[in-house]
Amino acid sequence: MENFRFRALASTFDRKKVSYTMPDKKPSEYFGEMTFNLSAMKEYLTDESFKKVMSAINEGTKIDRESAAQIAASMKAWSISKGATHYTHWFHPLTGSTAEKHDSFVNPDGGGKAIENFRGNELIQQEPDASSFPHGGIRNTFEARGYTAWDPTSPAFILGNTLCIPTIFVSYTGEALDYKTPLLKSSFALDKAARAVCKMFNGDIGRVYASLGWEQEYFLVDRSLFIARPDLVLTGRTLFGHASAKDQQLSDHYFGTIPERVKEFMKEFETEAHKLGIPVKTRHNEVAPNQFECAPVYEEVNIAVDHNQLIMYLMEKAARNHNFEVLFHEKPFAKINGSGKHNNWSLATDKGHNLFAPGKTQKENLRFVTFLVNVLMGVNEYEDLIRASISSASNDNRLGGHEAPPAIISVFIGSQLTSLLDRIEASNDKSGLNEELKAALNINVPNIPEILMDNTDRNRTSPFAFTGNKFEFRAVGSSANCAKPMISLNTVLAKQLTNFKRDVDQLLAKGLDFEDSVYQVIKDYIVRSKRIRFEGNNYSEEWQIEAQKRGLSNIKTTPETLKTLVKKNIIELFEETNVLTARELEARRLIRLEKFIKKVQIESRVLGDMANNHIIPIAIRYQNTLIENVKGLKEILDLQTYGKVSKNELEIITNISHHISEIKRGVDKMINERKVANNLVDEAAKAVAYDTKVRVTAESIRTHIDKLELLIDDELWPLPKYRELLFIR
């Protein structure tokens, strides 16, 4: 019998260099050439339409039908000049990936010929047959229509031969069925609230928006080895596999030399990204073997989210060209690091200020401290929501594991800011505040932000760390759509800033001056949000105990976190800020529960099949060889010698038997647990059953399979092992 694993391994030895034709230009010359960006718009649009688009982007005004027709015609002309033949509305349904349905520009002209056409209403709105997208009960079958509507704030782009138009996706009754709609609404709420606060400090600010710089971690696996592992193909992670004798112990992969094959792959997707205007900048090896990271320069949050979704697609495509498969799963391999997607988040004004960066004047620094303390307050108040915004079946495998943040949300701000806040807390009037600000922020030293950055970037264990001029949310999973955490953070801060203004206004009304009022409110917030700050080792056992004392939640599983979405204060938060309605939140809870159940169900089925079809038969075959051998020994040896030599082999045989029967018993038990779970009507109860029963049994089956892997003849083992999957040659 041919061993499939050996065939897969053999084909990796003979990888020819894949050639990707790099453009013979500098990146600056092709950057953004496949996007309908400002310069393309200037070239193709009339002045009138250009102004309309700009005001839609900057002020959120609506684009009228007449202009839409002109814009559509220009987009068509531009994209045809770049080789496009089709167009699609490109959106982010709640499946977590992106969706598109391509239509040709070609239309019959009635006279037996055809013309390329793209009308204004085709740009603005479409009605995709959307009945199969998750809707969480929002759409009844009789109103199963969904609409996509153009988002002019994110530039259209060309992928292959298709013009892709970023859109939102809503139901017939107007409820959001995607991530983009609430993201845009959260940005709107944040702009409004932050602008009002900025105005208290300085009247001259037109717009405030969140920036996002994501850092995408991922694993690469040779494609033939990937295909030889049904668990990787069907679930994106290995469901078993004994640890490799060497993996990340020596930390020799982190920032190490990138293998040549991998570099070629990186060059390809980075070049394609640059053509689409995605400013990818950084690439390096991560801690685990075969783990890498890429990061762009940060952008406005809506564009950054689109770009992250796009880059994941580009990476998957380029990987296949180089005989790789890219794994975005949060925990593809047990017992080594998982993959996250750090979300670096800050607030910018149209005047170019970063509101999370200290400034040069005392007033700017007071504003900086105000925003910093408001983030602390917001995160403290809504830590459970922020936790829920990053939960998923796959991220549950990662959080709390090897070098990954725990399930407890806390904020790290560094020693310098900690002592500043401590001193403000201890001071008795605003002169204290002024002095402390001056002292702590070294006003008039031109390179303050840099100093602060060096000071704050040390604690890598915090799930939410202030790193000099931005917050870095590190608990986000590598496969997640960044919009999910961004919607929560934007909304929480919007609400918090509104509260802040209300609190300051109340003091102003009592006749206090502005600085006194801000001082009092900040001081109060510092005290009230103190428990959310943690500077120590978040990976430690002590923190788990300390966090519990502080009353911080430590919600370890997705089904538990999802209860948060329909808590009274969370519904109020989203309704007051106009980001999501109670109905939309409930739909999202149901969709995420269903997704969780399905993911665990699929994993459990794949594991059961592989145990029965791959592992047990091979184990029995090897066991038979050993039995034959023992029988043979008995024939040729005298009884005493036989007794001695057969002892070890008999031990192996019994050992194998033990694991086989445990696996068999486990699979039967797991199938039964699935049946019981499937009979539960309530989705939440079903998810809990999958989590606490099916998943736990699957883990115990895994343990026995991993033991067998060490016992059975390597020549018989049918599936690529960790040591083979994890080291690209």
By CB under 5 A, residue 342 contacts Mg ion: yes
Beta-bridge partners for 89? 165
Q: Residue 458 in contact with residue 472, Cβ under 8 Å?
A: no
Among residues 151, 215, 584, 709, the one that binds ligand ADP under rule CB under 6 A: 215
Residue 21 tokens read as 């034709």
Type of residue numbered 173: T
| C-beta closer to ligand ADP: residue 191 or 264 | 191
Contact string (CB under 6 A) for ligand ADP, positions 416-455, x = contact: ----------------------------------------
Site residues for Mg ion, 195-234, by CB under 5 A, read: 215
CA distances from 623 to 652, 655, 659 (A): 8, 10, 12
Supply the DSSP string of 609-671, one letter for each residue. Answer: HHIIIIIHHHHHHHHHHHHHHHHHHHHHS-HHHHHHHHHHHHHHHHHHHHHHHHHHHHHHHHH
By CB under 6 A, residue 395 contacts ligand ADP: no
Q: Which of the listed partners (ligand ADP, Mg ion, none) does 426 bind, with a CB threshold of 5 to 8 Å by partner kind?
A: none
Pairing of strands 208-222, 291-296: antiparallel
Beta-bridge partners for 159? 162
566 exposed, middle or buried (CB, 10 Å; 0-12, 13-18, 19+)?
middle
Site residues for Mg ion, 346-365, by CB under 5 A, read: none
Residue 410 tokens read as 């806390």
User: Shortest Cβ distance from residue 541 to Mg ion (Å)?
Assistant: 25
Contact string (CB under 5 A) for Mg ion, positions 121-140, x = contact: --------------------
Supply the DSSP string of 6-19, one letter for each residue. Answer: HHHHHHHHTPPPPP
With contacts defined by CB under 6 A, name the span among 161-169, 466-474, 508-516, 617-625 that binds ligand ADP.
Answer: 466-474
SS3 56: helix
Residue 413 tokens read as 């701000």
| C-beta closer to ligand ADP: residue 253 or 470 | 470
SS3 506: helix
By CB under 6 A, residue 478 contacts ligand ADP: no
Q: Residue 287 in contact with residue 298, Cβ under 8 Å?
A: no
Q: How many CA atoms does the CB half-sphere of 557 hold within 13 Å? A: 16
By CB under 6 A, residue 353 contacts ligand ADP: no
User: Shortest Cβ distance from residue 353 to ligand ADP (Å)?
Assistant: 11
By CB under 6 A, residue 187 contacts ligand ADP: no
Size of the site for ligand ADP (CB under 6 A): 15
User: Shortest Cβ distance from residue 467 to ligand ADP (Å)?
Assistant: 5
By CB under 6 A, residue 470 contacts ligand ADP: yes
SS3 256: coil
Other beta carbons within 10 Å of 390: 27
Contact string (CB under 5 A) for Mg ion, positions 295-334, x = contact: ----------------------------------------
Q: Which of the listed partners (Mg ion, ligand ADP, none) does 298 bind, with a CB threshold of 5 to 8 Å by partner kind?
A: ligand ADP
By CB under 6 A, residue 295 contacts ligand ADP: yes
Type of residue numbered 608: G
| C-beta closer to Mg ion: residue 237 or 342 | 342
Among residues 150, 226, 265, 298, the one that binds ligand ADP under rule CB under 6 A: 298
By CB under 6 A, residue 344 contacts ligand ADP: yes
Type of residue numbered 620: I
| C-beta closer to Mg ion: residue 171 or 467 | 467
Report the C-alpha gap between 302 and 183 in whole angstroms: 7
With contacts defined by CB under 6 A, name the span among 192-200, 339-347, 546-554, 698-706 that binds ligand ADP.
Answer: 339-347
Please report, as ranges, the residues that interact with Mg ion according to CB under 5 A: 215, 342
Residues in contact with ligand ADP by CB under 6 A are: 211, 213, 215, 295-298, 342, 344, 346, 354, 467, 469-470, 472
